[in-house]
Amino acid sequence: MTRRSWPARIARLLAIGLLSLTAGSVLIVAMFRWLPVPVTSFMIQDDGPTAHDWVAWSEISRHAAVAVIASEDQRFMEHSGFDFEAIDKAWTDAKRGRRLRGASTISQQVAKNLFLWPGQNWLRKGLEAWFTLWIEWLWPKQRILEVYLNSAEFGRGIWGVEAASQHFFRKPAATLNRHEAALLAAVLPSPKRFRVDRPSPYVQQRQAWILRQMAMLGGTRILENPDNESAMH
Write the pLDDT tens digit of every residue in 35-52: 999 999 999 988 878 899
Average pLDDT, the chain: 87
* Within-domain flag for 65: yes
231 found inside a domain: no
Q: What mean pLDDT is predicted for residues 101-129?
A: 87
Specify the pLDDT at position 97. Answer: 59
Residue 125, domain extent: 11-223
What is the bridge-based pairing of β-strands 51-52 and 158-159?
parallel
pLDDT digits (tens, 9 = 90+) for 66-106: 999 999 999 999 998 888 776 666 555 555 555 545 569 99
CA distance 111 to 29: 9
* Cβ proximity of 90 and 100 under 8 Å: yes
Distance CA(94)–CA(102), nearest Å, equals 11
Which helix or strand (DSSP H or E) is residue 37 part of? none
- Higher confidence at residue 57 or residue 101? 57
Question: CB pairs under 8 A, 24+ apart, for 214-223?
Answer: 214/63, 214/66, 214/67, 214/70, 214/178, 214/182, 217/66, 217/69, 217/70, 217/74, 219/66, 220/62, 220/63, 220/65, 220/66, 222/66, 222/69, 222/77, 223/62, 223/65, 223/66, 223/77, 223/142
Within a domain: residue 63?
Answer: yes
Lowest mean pLDDT, pick from 57-61, 132-136, 191-195, 223-227: 223-227
Note whether residue 141 is domain-resident. yes
10-19 confidence digits (pLDDT tens): 766 666 666 6
Nearby residues of 94 by Cβ (< 8 Å), 6 or more positions away:
100
Q: Read off the CATH number of the domain in which 192 is found.
A: 1.10.3810.10
The identity of residue 23, as a single letter, is: A
> Does residue 3 fall inside a structural domain?
no
**Is residue 233 situated within a structural domain?**
no
pLDDT per position as a tens digit, 176-195? 999 999 999 999 989 999 99
Q: Which of 81, 50, 54, 76 is nearest to 65 (CA)?
A: 76
| 31 domain residue, yes or no | yes
pLDDT of 230 > 80? The answer is: no
Q: What is the pLDDT of residue 226?
A: 44
Q: Answer yes or no: is 194 within a domain.
A: yes
Question: Which pLDDT belongs to residue 119?
Answer: 77
- Over the Cα atoms of the chain, what is R_g? 20
What's the domain count of the chain? 1
Confidence band, pLDDT 50/70/90 cuts, at residue 122: confident
DSSP state of 87: H
